[in-house]
Structure formats: C-alpha cells, structure tokens
C-alpha cells in the first residue's frame, strides 16, 4: 500500500485522466474501422504491430529463467486475454461505445468474485453487497426483456470474465517476476494465440487499416504507461473513481462522431457499477490488501 506521505493525488488524478483519454482513442479508432477487418484479425494486427514496444523487455524476459509452472501460467493468461480481446473487438464493432465502456467496468467486480472463490480472499457482507449492486448495474444496462440483448452484449459479458481471469493469473505472477516480464510475456502469448484465429478469417488489410491498428497499439501502450504513472503518484482509492470519466468521454464520442443516441440507462448502470468498484477498492485499502484492479488494467 502506498505511503500517504509520498502520495501526490493531483498528479495521480491527472495521469488517470490522460489514461482514460488514451483508451477512448483506442475505442474510437476500433469503432471507426468497424467490421471491415474481422475481430480476430484486427486484434492480432494490434498485438503484432505493438511488438515493436516489446524490444526493451526482451533482455528481462531472457534473464528471468522462467520455470515450467510460470510458463504454464503465462500460457493460461495468454489464452484468457486472447479470447477477451477477440470478443472486445467483436463487441466494439456492433454495439455503442458507451455500452462497451460501461460493461468493461465489470471486470474488477469479477476479479473480486474470483479472488474469493479461488484465492481464498474473504468477501465480507459489505463487499458482497457492492458486488451484487454491480451486477444490478449490468442488468440496468442490458435491460433483458425490455430491449434486445445483442451478440455484442454477450461478447462484452464474456470479455469482462476473461479479462478478470487473466488479471488474477497476472496477480500471482507479479509477486514473482518484474512488471517488464509480465507485460512482455502477455504480448508474446497473445500474439501467438491470436494468429490461428486471424488466419481463419484473414482478409488483406489496406495501408489505412494497418495504420489505424498501429495507432491502436500506440495509444494502448501509452495508456498502460500513464496508468502506471498514476499508480506511482497516488493510491488506487484516489485514481479509481476518475476512471468513470471514460464513460463520459465514450458517451460524447459516440454521440458526436458516430451518431449514437445517449442512453440514460447505460449511464445509470455505469454509475452503479463504478460506484461499486470504487467501494470495493476502498474496502480493500482499509483492509490493507490489493486485489481489485483499476478499470484500465483490464483493457486491450
């Protein structure tokens, strides 16, 4: 847990706002590319083109002397993340940006559930109520029976689950290896995992599409870097609530540039989920443990 005396809350908030803008740029580009590039291929090209950012991590990976157990965990995380990013790209091309953003907030909630079920973490009544409220928020967004639940919504529900499982695996590895190794191995395993899915649906991309997906890789990498700077500046209890601004940016982006209607239920559901995540984060800080990730930690 970060020392309060070294905390710089304004800097933490600033870097988390920048992080949100980076990831909104990612969603904007992916939304603009739409269905022209199949989801699996778009995800593969995003990671393949992003391998250029892996160069500084090669030496730490080679020096890590990974054990068979660690390699199996990295492979498992790669599978989870591979499925998650394919489904995320699929959903982004089919449902409004605000809905994708709001439903992605569920990942930290699933992490809390998974930590209780598989890592022996306690789930006290107040945290359990927060988890249940987050699921209510998801129901507010989806409104089953009141509107059609589209394949994109189902994809985002699964995306949040797969990201959560991947995060829990990363949580185990982060206690044994440096961040450079954990991040670098994720890029390698996901690129390999996406390759056969991309090959099965391959269409030759244009130079413009390749450029767009390289920008996705740039913004995503920059977003994870600025998120790290936010964590270094201030505790998660300070930076986590700021991630709600991503929903604000997503609503504005969808309305202004893609003609998507502003859905009050989506905003309300997002607020409920984000409030629940913030409460869970605060309770973990009080209990001096850190399981729940920041919302941007479960991004592409």
Give pLDDT tens digits for 130-153.
Answer: 889 999 999 999 987 777 789 999
Return the structure tokens found at 245. Answer: 């601004």
Distance between CA atoms of residues 129 and 45, nearest Å: 40
Are 191 and 44 spatial neighbours (Cβ–Cβ below 8 Å)? yes
Distance between CA atoms of residues 93 and 82, nearest Å: 17
- How would you label 14-35 residue by residue, b for 16+ Cβ within 10 Å and e otherwise? bbbbbbbbbbbbbbbbbbebee
Q: Is the dihedral of CA 210, 88, 36, 252 positive or negative?
A: negative
Mean pLDDT, rounded, for 238-255: 87
Mean pLDDT, rounded, for 268-285: 87
- Evaluate if pTM is beyond 0.75: yes
Residue matched to tokens 């990671």:
47
pLDDT of residue 289: 66
Answer yes or no: is pLDDT of 161 > 90.
yes
Helices marked H in 143-244: 151-174, 179-200, 207-233, 236-239
Mean pLDDT, rounded, for 87-110: 91
pLDDT of residue 151: 92
| DSSP for residue 147 | B
Are 57 and 224 spatial neighbours (Cβ–Cβ below 8 Å)? no
Return the structure tokens found at 215. Answer: 């920008």
Distance between CA atoms of residues 172 and 90, nearest Å: 29
Least confident of 28-42, 110-124, 139-153: 110-124
- How would you label 139-165 residue by residue, b for 16+ Cβ within 10 Å and e otherwise? ebbbeeeeeeeeebbebbbbbbbbbbb
pLDDT of residue 170: 87
- Between CA 111 and CA 231, with CA 85 as vertex, the angle to 5 degrees is 50
Return the structure tokens found at 274. Answer: 């984000």
Least confident of 26-40, 107-121, 124-138: 107-121
Q: Residue 1 — very low, low, confident or very high, per pLDDT cuts 50/70/90?
A: very low
- Between CA 144 and CA 273, with CA 20 as vertex, the angle to 5 degrees is 30
Answer yes or no: is pLDDT of 294 > 70.
no
Mean pLDDT, rounded, for 176-203: 92
Residue matched to tokens 């995992």:
193
Angle (deg, nearest 10), helices 68-92 and 97-104: 150
What are residue 147's DSSP bridge partners? 144
> How many CA atoms are closer than 13 Å to the CA of 85, on its beta-carbon side?
31
């Amino acid at each position: 847990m970060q020392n309060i005396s070294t905390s710089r809350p304004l800097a933490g908030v600033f870097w988390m706002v920048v992080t949100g803008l980076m990831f909104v740029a990612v969603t904007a580009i992916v939304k603009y590319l739409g269905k022209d590039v199949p989801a699996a291929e778009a995800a593969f090209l995003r990671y393949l083109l992003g391998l250029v950012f892996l160069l500084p991590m090669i030496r730490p990976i080679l020096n890590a002397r990974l054990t068979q157990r660690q390699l199996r965990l990295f492979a498992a995380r790669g599978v989870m993340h591979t499925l998650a990013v394919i489904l995320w790209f699929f959903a982004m091309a089919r449902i409004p940006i605000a809905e994708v953003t709001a439903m992605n907030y569920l990942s930290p909630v699933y992490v809390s559930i998974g930590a209780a079920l598989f890592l022996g973490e306690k789930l006290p009544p107040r945290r359990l109520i927060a988890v249940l409220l987050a699921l209510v928020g998801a129901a507010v967004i989806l409104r089953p029976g009141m509107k059609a639940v589209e394949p994109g919504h189902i994809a985002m529900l699964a995306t949040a689950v797969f990201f959560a499982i991947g995060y829990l695996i990363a949580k185990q590895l982060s206690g044994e290896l440096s961040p450079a190794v954990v991040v670098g191995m994720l890029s390698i395993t996901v690129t390999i995992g996406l390759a056969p899915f991309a090959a099965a649906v391959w269409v030759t991309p244009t130079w413009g599409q390749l450029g767009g997906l390289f920008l996705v890789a740039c913004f995503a990498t920059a977003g994870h870097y600025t998120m790290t700077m936010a964590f270094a500046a201030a505790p998660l209890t300070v930076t986590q609530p700021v991630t709600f601004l991503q929903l604000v940016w997503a609503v504005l982006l969808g309305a202004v540039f893609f003609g998507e209607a502003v859905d009050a239920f989506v905003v309300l559901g997002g607020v409920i989920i984000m409030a629940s995540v913030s409460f869970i984060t605060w309770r973990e800080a009080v209990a001096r443990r850190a399981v729940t990730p920041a919302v941007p930690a479960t991004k592409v």
